[in-house]
């Protein structure tokens, strides 16, 4: 039955010239029908060079909007219209524009890609977790306001001591909720395992890790490492994906709470309904918004 739906999706997407992009946090059955899977940075880079006329994004809203910004001539759908990222909504465009005017006049504003398109229109450059350190180092400006994730921002600030980085109080509610105690408990339970964490976690957690990096960085580290056991400090779908990719290694979740409900919303049925014209949401952005917001995404690709 599952195989039947997957085969049908693969047949229809070819017939209709559709490219399915899926973030690595999606479920295995979706990754299997996708044309390309990866972390936020890889998905953005991929979205610049797609020849198909339609893109279906399996992930959250800002990812579909990023694909539309980079491929404005394509029809882009978000497979499940309810899948948002709570962090992306934390600061409004007006609030940041006002901060730029009042408090941080001469600062460059670096926005984590997990932001709304509207907010991107008043920022200078976007970053993803895998590209943030490199991009900030490559920027000519010394004074930087990093929004919205204060944990990723603090991680970047630690790696870029030459910069003056100011932070706001935003962040990923899923990663930031994990405590040092949970990390220590996981380490005590699996003393032989290496701890790999996402920099969206608090410093009290990343400082206990053997490695910190984006989703793709974590997966690549685990795949190429000689170690045999790993505690995964990011969304728990990655524990399962890695276990399937590396059957001779063992993967454990750092916490049972590392679950992004938004990323879990998209189902294989949503993908089927979207490509058959019975679901999903087409991403519509005005030309003016695209023109203003795409600048900081292009800058990210140029500097990253
Ligand atoms: P990356 O895909 O950049 O690792 O980010 C993880 C995440 O939280 C996506 O929303
Ligand atoms: Fe947003 Fe966090 Fe979910 Fe990523 S894991 S989509 S940052 S809430």
Cβ neighbours of residue 173 under 8 Å, at least 6 residues apart?
A: 86, 87
Query: What are the pLDDT digits (tens) for 76-110?
Result: 999 999 999 999 999 999 999 999 999 999 999 99
Q: What percent of the chain has pLDDT over 70?
A: 100
Q: If residue 99 lies in a helix (H) or strand (E), which one and from where to where?
A: helix 93-102
For residues 6 and 150, state if they share a domain.
no
Query: What are the pLDDT digits (tens) for 21-61?
Result: 999 999 999 999 999 999 988 898 898 889 999 999 999 99
For residues 78 and 19, state if they share a domain.
yes
Indicate which residue's Cα is closest to atom 6 of ligand 1.
215
Query: Reading across the β-sheet that carries 250-253, which strands appear in turn?
Result: 211-212, 194-197, 229-233, 250-253
Instruction: Say what the pLDDT of residue 105 is.
Output: 94
pLDDT category of residue 3 using cuts at 50, 70 and 90: confident
For residues 105 and 67, state if they share a domain.
no
- Indicate whether 193 pLDDT > 90: yes
Q: Domain containing 251 — which CATH number?
A: 3.40.50.10800
Residue 277 zone, left/alpha/beta (φ > 0; ψ -120 to 50; rest): left
For residues 277 and 231, state if they share a domain.
no
For residues 81 and 98, state if they share a domain.
no
For residues 126 and 186, state if they share a domain.
no
Indicate which residue's Cα is closest to atom 7 of ligand 2.
172
Q: Which ligand is nearest to the CA of 175?
A: 2
Q: If residue 141 lies in a helix (H) or strand (E), which one and from where to where?
A: none
Segments forming the whole domain that contains residue 229: 178-256
Query: Helix, strand, coil proportions of the chain in percent (round to 5)?
Result: 45, 20, 40
For residues 168 and 299, state if they share a domain.
yes
d(Cα 117, Cα 101) in Å, to the nearest integer?
20
Please work out whether the CB of residue 172 comes within 6 Å of at least one atom of ligand 2. yes
Q: Do the beta carbons of residue 221 and residue 195 sit within 8 Å?
A: no
Tokens of 146: 């990093």
pLDDT category of residue 1 using cuts at 50, 70 and 90: confident
For residues 130 and 149, state if they share a domain.
yes
For residues 14 and 162, state if they share a domain.
no
For residues 294 and 155, state if they share a domain.
yes
Q: If residue 172 lies in a helix (H) or strand (E), which one and from where to where?
A: none
Instruction: Say what the pLDDT of residue 2 is.
Output: 80
d(Cα 60, Cα 281) in Å, to the nearest integer?
12
Please work out whether the CB of residue 87 comes within 6 Å of at least one atom of ligand 2. yes
d(Cα 267, Cα 58) in Å, to the nearest integer?
9
pTM: 0.95
- Indicate whether 197 pLDDT > 80: yes
Residue 184 zone, left/alpha/beta (φ > 0; ψ -120 to 50; rest): alpha
DSSP letter assigned to residue 174: T
Q: Ligand 1 centre and the CA of 215: distance in Å?
A: 6
d(Cα 258, Cα 190) in Å, to the nearest integer?
18
Q: How many structural domains comprise the chain?
A: 3
85 CA closest ligand 2 atom index: 1
174 CA closest ligand 2 atom index: 2
d(Cα 119, Cα 89) in Å, to the nearest integer?
9
């Amino acid at each position: 039955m599952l195989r039947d739906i997957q085969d049908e999706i693969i047949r229809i997407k070819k017939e209709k010239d559709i490219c399915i992009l899926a973030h690595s946090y999606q479920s295995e059955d979706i990754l299997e029908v996708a044309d390309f899977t990866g972390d936020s940075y890889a998905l953005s880079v991929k979205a610049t060079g797609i020849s198909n006329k339609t893109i279906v994004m399996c992930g959250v809203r800002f990812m579909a909007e990023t694909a539309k910004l980079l491929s404005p001539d394509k029809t882009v759908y978000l497979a499940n219209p309810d899948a948002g990222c709570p962090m992306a909504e934390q600061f409004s465009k007006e609030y940041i524009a006002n901060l730029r005017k009042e408090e941080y006049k001469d600062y460059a504003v670096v926005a984590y890609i997990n932001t709304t398109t509207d907010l991107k229109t008043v920022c200078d450059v976007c970053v993803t977790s895998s590209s943030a350190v490199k991009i900030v180092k490559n920027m000519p400006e010394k004074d930087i306001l990093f929004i919205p994730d204060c944990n990723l921002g603090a991680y970047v600030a630690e790696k870029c001591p030459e910069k003056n980085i100011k932070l706001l109080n935003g962040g990923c509610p899923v990663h930031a909720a994990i405590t040092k105690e949970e990390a220590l408990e996981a380490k005590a339970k699996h003393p032989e395992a290496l701890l790999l964490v996402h920099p969206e976690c608090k410093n009290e957690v990343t400082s206990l890790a053997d490695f910190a990096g984006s989703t793709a960085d974590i997966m690549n580290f685990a795949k190429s490492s000689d170690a045999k056991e790993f505690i995964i400090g990011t969304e728990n779908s990655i524990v399962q994906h890695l276990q399937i990719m590396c059957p001779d290694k063992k993967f454990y979740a750092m916490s049972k709470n590392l679950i992004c409900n938004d990323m879990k919303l998209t189902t294989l049925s949503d993908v089927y309904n979207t490509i058959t014209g019975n679901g999903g949401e087409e991403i519509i952005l005005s030309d003016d918004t695209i023109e203003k917001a795409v600048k900081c995404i292009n800058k990210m690709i140029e500097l990253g």
